[in-house]
């Protein structure tokens, strides 16, 4: 699905092809019937106008009855065409639109949310590598797919309507055609040739004008979608960080950011309005000239020379008008086609981004060095890391972290220590395949479940049980198991609400405090029983006692787990009894990671003091303290 036609035909050759083709065939049949009804409509219009024209004719014995009968037939034909055929076709096409969009939406969700972490990699494009990450993925999946599928169905129906109209109306024009003075060599096809020639001259010329305006509309539509998406994305991000904006009194800066983003929307919208207005004026003039001049001009010559009676002239002109209307479908929907092309471009860009990252290392190798190798070994040997180097984007980027050899034994607890920004989190990301650039070999213990615990998981529309069961589903674990895990993690008060997606109208992300969210992480770990556990600042929101309880719960309930932890504390926490949770540490200094056994235990009181964050003093506080000391 890397181009428009690939996106279009994918649904019709999928496992739901019967559904797709059945709806398509019904739409085709109704379109053909609607085109045939246009011929009947033109003939009935001719009969009605003719009966009005000869209202006072002496040969007309029942003028009023004839007019009423012809008018009734015309109304019935309008109802049959617009309600019976066109109306039902609209319902069927809307159903096809809904089914197709749902299928495409499911395909993109499956592709983005696969085990390859495609959603993560697809957002890491590189200008240096010539690959730009797609902006506003949410907008592309929600709005662009919906508008693209609807526009494509409308385009297909228009083309089909044009073909059937040419067939039925053209057939009738040929049947009712008469000889034209000066074109005797055409025989009885003279008036039909004149009508078709008028249509063939008038419609293509104006279509060319419509295409030029449509190209401008397409460019403006793409720019408008990007501007709208960026503004909406910033609003969404702002609402998520609302507390931080309020705490820092950053409303003024945030407002200026919104104003700056909206300027692009406003300017593009202004230009789009001008072009849309110009196109509307062009279309109105085109419709008038086509229906009132071009449609009636070809039959005027044979009518003047009495080769065609008044009824035949009106009927033929109405058919030409219907033919112009059907052939002008491309002009009428050009703005919609411009939007369709803009939407299809954004959808195919997303599809290409998904395809590009199916092999992450090949993808990242286009903008830097990415040469990681992952293997497995006997679980007795634990986790091994060899010749590791981590770098940033760029072929010549200097590694910011390296390590010749790191080994983590089964059941060993290790914490990573180093200054902020030294690469602690990058290291465990690389182990888990989430760091793009660098090289090295990572050998996992075979058959051992791995679990990466970050600070919190924001999934607002799921139950508490589902949050505990991550990365599995609610059906993987019984209520008793989940309740036990919540109790052991210190969240027993929420057990009775674990089936709910919210509490008192608030999502769990809003209900749980920072500390409770990290206890939720403990509950997940206890329930999943991993053999290899990565803790990425998982205790950042806990006080010293909470950190001890966090580690103790894992120690008591996951006795053989191997733990690799990132913490900001200078000293790893110890149990309430004073024993060490951790056996070793990886020290990162000067860009090199080395593993060593943990230093001899310090007294519990001193450990607690060192674990507490030091207050930050400004220069006046330090100056005052020094004066007091003097």
DSSP track, 334-372: HHHHHHHHHHHHHHHHHHHHHHHTSSHHHHHTTSB-EEE
How far is Cα 317 from Cα 172, in angstroms, rounded to an integer? 12
How far is Cα 286 from Cα 541, in angstroms, rounded to an integer? 68
Phi, psi values for residue 559, rounded to 5°: -65, -30
**Cross-strand partners of 408:** 383
The pLDDT averaged over each successive group of 10 residues in the chain (630 residues) is: 77 91 92 85 82 78 85 88 85 89 86 80 64 72 77 79 80 82 81 84 84 83 85 81 75 85 90 88 88 85 83 82 76 71 80 81 82 91 92 86 92 90 90 90 92 69 84 86 91 88 78 84 90 86 84 89 86 86 91 83 44 46 49
Q: Which 3 state secondary structure label does DSSP give 267?
A: helix
Q: Output DSSP code: residue 567.
A: -
- Note whether 177 and 167 are within 8 A (CB): no
How far is Cα 244 from Cα 238, in angstroms, rounded to an integer? 9
How far is Cα 324 from Cα 316, in angstroms, rounded to an integer? 12
Helix (H) or strand (E) holding 300: helix 297-304
Residue closest to 567 by CA, chosen among 416, 453, 455: 416
- Note whether 615 and 607 are within 8 A (CB): no
Structure tokens at 121: 């990699």
Task: Encode burial over 80-95: b for 16+ CB neighbours within 10 A, e otherwise.
Answer: bbeebbbeebeebbee
**Cross-strand partners of 441:** 373, 386
Sequence-distant (≥ 6) Cβ neighbours of residue 597 within 8 angstroms? 583, 584
pLDDT at 630: 47
How far is Cα 399 from Cα 403, in angstroms, rounded to an integer? 11
Helix (H) or strand (E) holding 564: strand 562-566
* Torsion from C-alpha of 150, 154, 159, 163, nearest 10 degrees: 130
User: How many residues are listed for the chain in this entry?
Assistant: 630
Structure tokens at 477: 């674990």
pLDDT at 619: 46
Half-sphere exposure of 597 (CA within 13 A, CB side): 3
pLDDT at 402: 93
Task: Please list the alpha-helical segments (H only) found in 54-87.
Answer: 63-79
pLDDT at 626: 52
Pairing of strands 413-418, 502-503: unpaired
Structure tokens at 78: 């309008």
pLDDT at 130: 57
> For residue 398, how far is the Cα from the chain centroid?
36
In this structure, the number of other CB atoms found within 10 A of the CB of residue 513 comes to: 9
Give how far Cα 542 sits from Cα of 393, 537, 545, 552, 574, Å: 35, 10, 8, 14, 14
How far is Cα 459 from Cα 465, in angstroms, rounded to an integer? 12
How far is Cα 38 from Cα 80, in angstroms, rounded to an integer? 10
pLDDT at 401: 93
pTM value is 0.62
pLDDT at 333: 67
Pairing of strands 370-377, 506-507: unpaired
Sequence-distant (≥ 6) Cβ neighbours of residue 463 within 8 angstroms? 474, 498, 499, 500, 501
Q: Which 3 state secondary structure label does DSSP give 180?
A: coil
- What angle in degrees, to the nearest 10, is found between the helix axes of 190-240 and 310-327? 30
pLDDT at 531: 92
pLDDT at 183: 79
């Amino acid at each position: 699905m890397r181009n428009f036609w690939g996106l279009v035909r994918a649904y019709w050759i999928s496992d739901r092809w019967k559904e797709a083709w059945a709806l398509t065939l019904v739409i085709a049949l109704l379109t053909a019937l609607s085109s045939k009804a246009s011929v009947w409509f033109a003939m009935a219009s001719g009969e009605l106008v003719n009966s009005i024209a000869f209202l006072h004719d002496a040969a007309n014995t029942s003028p009023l009855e004839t007019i009423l009968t012809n008018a009734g037939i015309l109304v019935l034909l309008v109802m049959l065409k617009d309600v019976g055929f066109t109306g039902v076709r609209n319902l069927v096409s809307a159903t096809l639109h809904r089914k197709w969009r749902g299928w495409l939406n499911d395909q993109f969700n499956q592709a983005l949310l696969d085990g390859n972490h495609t959603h993560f990699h697809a957002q890491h494009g590189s200008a240096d590598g010539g690959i730009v990450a797609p902006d506003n993925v949410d907008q592309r999946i929600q709005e662009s797919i919906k508008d693209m599928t609807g526009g494509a169905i409308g385009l297909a129906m228009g083309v089909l309507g044009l073909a059937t109209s040419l067939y039925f109306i053209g057939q009738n024009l040929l049947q009712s055609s008469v000889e034209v003075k000066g074109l005797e060599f055409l025989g009885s096809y003279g008036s039909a040739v004149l009508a078709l020639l008028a249509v063939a001259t008038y419609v293509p010329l104006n279509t060319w004008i419509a295409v030029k305006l449509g190209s401008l509309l397409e460019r403006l539509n793409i720019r408008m979608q990007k501007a709208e998406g960026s503004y909406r994305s910033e609003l969404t991000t702002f609402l998520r960080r609302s507390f931080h904006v309020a705490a820092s009194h950053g409303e003024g800066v945030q407002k200026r950011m919104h104003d700056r983003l909206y300027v692009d929307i406003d300017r593009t919208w202004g230009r789009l309005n001008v072009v849309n207005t110009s196109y509307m004026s062009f279309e109105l003039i085109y419709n008038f000239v086509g229906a009132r001049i071009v449609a009636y001009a070809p039959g005027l010559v044979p009518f003047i020379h009495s080769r065609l009676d008044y009824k035949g002239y009106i009927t033929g002109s109405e058919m030409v008008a219907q033919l112009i209307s059907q052939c002008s479908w491309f002009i009428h929907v050009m703005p919609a086609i411009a939007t369709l092309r803009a939407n299809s471009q954004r959808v195919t860009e997303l599809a290409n981004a998904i395809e590009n990252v199916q092999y992450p290392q090949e993808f990242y190798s286009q903008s830097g060095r990415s040469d990681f190798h992952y293997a497995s070994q006997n679980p007795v040997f634990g986790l091994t890391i060899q010749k590791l180097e981590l770098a940033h984007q760029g072929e010549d980027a200097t590694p910011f972290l390296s390590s010749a050899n790191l080994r983590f034994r089964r059941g060993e607890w290790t914490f990573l220590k180093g200054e902020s920004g030294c690469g602690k989190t990058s290291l465990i990301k690389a182990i888990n395949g989430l760091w793009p650039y660098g090289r090295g070999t990572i050998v996992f213990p075979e058959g051992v479940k791995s679990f990466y615990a970050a600070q919190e998981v924001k999934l607002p529309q799921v139950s508490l049980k589902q949050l505990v069961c991550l990365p599995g589903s609610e059906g993987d674990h019984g209520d008793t198991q989940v309740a036990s895990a919540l109790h052991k993690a210190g969240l027993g008060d929420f057990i009775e609400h674990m089936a709910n997606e919210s509490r008192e109208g608030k999502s769990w992300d809003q209900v749980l405090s920072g500390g409770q969210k990290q206890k939720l992480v403990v509950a997940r770990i206890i329930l999943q029983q991993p053999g290899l556990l990565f803790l990425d600042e998982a205790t950042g929101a806990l006080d010293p006692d909470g950190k001890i309880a966090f580690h103790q719960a894992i120690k008591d309930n996951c006795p053989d787990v191997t733990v690799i932890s990132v913490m900001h504390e200078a000293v790893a926490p110890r149990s309430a009894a004073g024993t060490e949770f951790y056996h070793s540490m990886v020290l990162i200094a000067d860009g090199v990671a080395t593993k060593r056994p943990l230093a001899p235990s310090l007294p519990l009181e001193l450990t607690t003091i060192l674990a507490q964050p030091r207050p930050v003093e400004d220069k006046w506080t330090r100056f005052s303290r020094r004066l007091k000391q003097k």
